[in-house]
Amino acid sequence: MSLFQYEYMQLALLSALVIGLTAPALGIYLVQRRLALIGDGIGHVALTGVGAGLLFQTSPVIMAVIAATIGAILIELIRERGRTSGDLALALLFYGGIAGGVVLVGLSDSTSAHLNAYLFGALSTTSRGDVVTIVVLGTAVLLTMIGLRPALFAICHDEEYARVSGLPVRALNLLLAITTAITVTIAMRAVGVLLISALMVVPVATAQQVTRGFRSTMAAAMALGLFAGGAGIWMAALADTAPGASVVVVAIASFVVVTVLAVGWRRIRRVRPHPAPTPEPHEVVLNGS
């Protein structure tokens, strides 16, 4: 544990804990809406921002926030319009984003190590200023996700019903898109563009193996994210592995362990936790409605 006496390790730990807590709190809404991989896509777009930041000698993180936000809003507008061409449009945005990023980084004088830091994360080179940004933005996103839980749950669970309830559905969708962009960008420093979705999605996937409600899933996913963040950094410090990848490895290991335990538990109990839904007698002939 002596490694944590160094400031850079303390900063790395703090960032990982904040991101570990925030990413699943947002990710649960994305999973519920079947947009589990959206974080990945927005990460690709953010990379163009990083490239632009490196090329024009401005802050890559701020440029990434801008690029990711524009990308997220575009994706949301495409999603809203309809689903047929959306798939393809998303693909264009994703690959355009990563290609643009690589080209821009190439044009600038940065080394490939610099690009690697954004692709796979570089917590140990995170500055105090970066950590302040991560803590402030992460806390803002976290409070939004918790405070607006009923409304965000409603739009992700049944968007048409939310509309008929008079909720500002479009504003909430855009809010979700923008907070996703912010989370992706701050998580980029820790786990890297290529692994961001993992922290948003894997703790949720783990939690829902054992939970019964949305609120309990959210709480459990946040706890698991926090654990993955802390244990991942500790493992990285001990074994000198890449911090971002270590955090994700811990998250996925938790998923495997919890899944095996949950399956085993159900086997042992033999009785399922709930009576299976009783098949319904066909009182009514459906005309395929």
Partner 1 sequence: MTPDVITVTHGVVGYDGRPVLRDVSLNVTTGEVVAVLGANGSGKSTLIRAILGLVPLSAGQVTLFGRPIRQFRQWHRVGYVPQRLGAGSGVPATVAEVVAAGRLSRRGILRPPGRVDRAAVAEALRAVGLADRAKDPVTTLSGGQQQRTLIARALAGRPEVLILDEPTAGVDAVSQEAFADALREFTDSGGTVLLVAHELGPLRPLISRAIVVHQGLVVHDGAVPEPAGHHAAPDHDHVHPHGPEEPAGLWSAQ
Binding residues among 196-235 for partner 1 as defined by CB under 8 A: 204, 208, 211-215, 217
Q: Which is nearer to partner 1, 86 or 230 (CB)?
A: 86
- Give the C-alpha separation, 279 to 289, whole Å: 19
Q: Which structure tokens are listed for 143?
A: 């409070």
- Say whether residue 34 binds partner 1 (CB under 8 A): yes
Contact with partner 1 (CB under 8 A) among 77, 163, 223, 252: 163
Q: Which structure tokens are listed for 266?
A: 């159900």
Contact with partner 1 (CB under 8 A) among 2, 5, 57, 289: 289
Contact 210, 198 (CB under 8 A): no
Q: To the nearest whole angstrom, how small is the minimum distance from the Cβ of residue 202 to partner 1?
A: 13
Q: Which is nearer to partner 1, 32 or 69 (CB)?
A: 32
Contact with partner 1 (CB under 8 A) among 28, 75, 187, 242: 28
The stretch near partner 1 (CB under 8 A) out of 8-16, 39-47, 97-105, 167-175 is 167-175
Q: Which is nearer to partner 1, 32 or 254 (CB)?
A: 32
Q: To the nearest whole angstrom, how small is the minimum distance from the Cβ of residue 268 to partner 1?
A: 20
- Say whether residue 128 binds partner 1 (CB under 8 A): no
Please report, for residues 20, 47, 150, the alpha-carbon distance to residue 220 in angstroms, rounded to integers and kept in the order given. Answer: 12, 31, 17
3-state class of 273 per DSSP? coil
Q: To the nearest whole angstrom, how small is the minimum distance from the Cβ of residue 209 to partner 1?
A: 10
Q: Which is nearer to partner 1, 212 or 266 (CB)?
A: 212
How many secondary structure helices (H) and strands (E) does the chain include? Answer: 12, 0
Q: To the nearest whole angstrom, how small is the minimum distance from the Cβ of residue 188 to partner 1?
A: 25
- Say whether residue 32 binds partner 1 (CB under 8 A): yes
**40 closest CA partner among 195, 157, 237:** 195
Q: Which is nearer to partner 1, 270 or 272 (CB)?
A: 272
**Three-class SS string for 144-197?**
HHHHCHHHHHHHHHCHHHHHHCCCCHHHHHHHHHHHHHHHHHHHHHHCCHHHHH
Contact 232, 226 (CB under 8 A): no
- Give the C-alpha separation, 122 to 188, whole Å: 9
Q: To the nearest whole angstrom, how small is the minimum distance from the Cβ of residue 83 to partner 1?
A: 10
Q: Which is nearer to partner 1, 114 or 163 (CB)?
A: 163
Phi, psi of 127 (to 5 degrees): -90, 170
Contact 34, 44 (CB under 8 A): no
Task: Tell me how many degrees the CA angle 235-25-246 measures, rounded to the nearest 5.
Answer: 15
Pattern of binders to partner 1 over 228-267, x per CB under 8 A?
----------------------------------------
Q: Which residues bind partner 1 (CB under 8 A)?
A: 28, 31-34, 147-148, 150-151, 153-154, 157-158, 160-168, 172, 204, 208, 211-215, 217, 274-289
